[in-house]
Amino acid sequence: MKREKTKLVTSIGGQALMEGIMMRGPKKTTVAVRKADGTIELEEVKPLDWVKKYKILRIPIIRGIANLIDSLVTGNKALMLSADKALEGEEVPEEELSKFDKWLDEHFGDKIVNVIMVVSMVIAIAFCVGVFFFVPTFLFNLLSSVLPFLNDQIIWRSAFEGIIRIILFLIYMSLCTLNKDVKRVFQYHGAEHKTIFCYEYGLDLTVENVRKQIRFHPRCGTSFIVLMLLVGILIGLFIPFTDVWLRSSVKILLLPLTVGIGYELIKICGRHDNVITRIIAAPGVWMQHITTKEPADDMIEVAIQAMKDVIPENGEDVIR
**Secondary structure in 3-state letters for the chain:** CCCCCCCCCECCEEEEECCEEEEECCCCEEEEEECCCCCEEEEECCCCCHHHHCHHHHCCCHHHHHHHHHHHHHHHHHHHHHHHHHCCCCCCCHHHCCHHHHHHHHHHHHHHHHHHHHHHHHHHHHHHHHHHHHHHHHHHHHHHHHCHHHHHCHHHHHHHHHHHHHHHHHHHHHHHCCCHHHHHHHHHHHHHHHHHHHHHCCCCCCHHHHHCCCCCCCCCHHHHHHHHHHHHHHHHCCCCCCCHHHHHHHHHHCHHHHHHHHHHHHHHHHHCCCHHHHHHHHHHHHHHHHHCCCCCHHHHHHHHHHHHHHCCCCCCCECC
Tens-digit pLDDT profile for residues 243-280: 999 999 999 999 999 999 999 999 999 888 899 999 99
pLDDT exceeds cutoff 70 at 103: no
Q: What is the identity of the amino acid at 214?
A: I
- Cα separation of 209 and 267, whole Å? 26
pLDDT exceeds cutoff 60 at 6: no
pLDDT exceeds cutoff 80 at 96: no
Return the pLDDT at 91. 55
Return the pLDDT at 14. 95
Q: What is the mean pLDDT of the chain?
A: 88
- Cα separation of 114 and 175, whole Å? 24
What ranges do the domains of the chain cover?
13-310
More confident residue, 120 or 193: 193
- Angle at which helix 275-291 crosses helix 221-236, to 10 degrees, equals 120
Reported as a pLDDT band with limits 50, 70 and 90, residue 2 is very low
Of 1-15, 174-188, 301-315, where does mean pLDDT reach its minimum?
1-15
Q: How many CB atoms lie within 10 A of CB 107?
A: 10
Which positions ≥6 away from 111 have C-beta within 8 Å?
Answer: none
Return the pLDDT at 104. 53
Section 218-224 average pLDDT: 92
The torsion angles phi and psi of 41, rounded to 5 degrees, stand at: -115, 135
Return the pLDDT at 25. 94
pLDDT exceeds cutoff 70 at 106: no
Return the pLDDT at 119. 75
Reported as a pLDDT band with limits 50, 70 and 90, residue 90 is low
Percent of the chain residues topping a pLDDT of 70? 88
Q: What is the identity of the amino acid at 273?
A: D
More confident residue, 59 or 83: 59
Return the pLDDT at 3. 45
**Contact between residue 143 and residue 160 where contact means Cβ atoms under 8 Å apart:** yes
Of 12-26, 82-96, 139-153, where does mean pLDDT reach its minimum?
82-96
Tens-digit pLDDT profile for residues 32-59: 999 999 999 999 999 999 999 999 999 9
More confident residue, 93 or 177: 177
**Contact between residue 19 and residue 33 where contact means Cβ atoms under 8 Å apart:** yes
Return the pLDDT at 140. 92
Which of 16, 18, 15, 43 lies closest to 113, judged by CA?
18
pLDDT exceeds cutoff 50 at 1: no
Tens-digit pLDDT profile for residues 138-160: 999 999 888 888 777 889 999 99
- Cα separation of 44 and 30, whole Å? 4
Sign of the dihedral defined by the CA atoms of residues 141, 142, 147, 148, in that order: positive
Which of 15, 32, 25 lies closest to 82, judged by CA?
32
- Cα separation of 189 and 195, whole Å? 10
**pTM for the structure as a whole:** 0.86
- Adjacency order of strands within the sheet including 40-44: 13-17, 20-24, 29-34, 40-44
Return the pLDDT at 92. 47
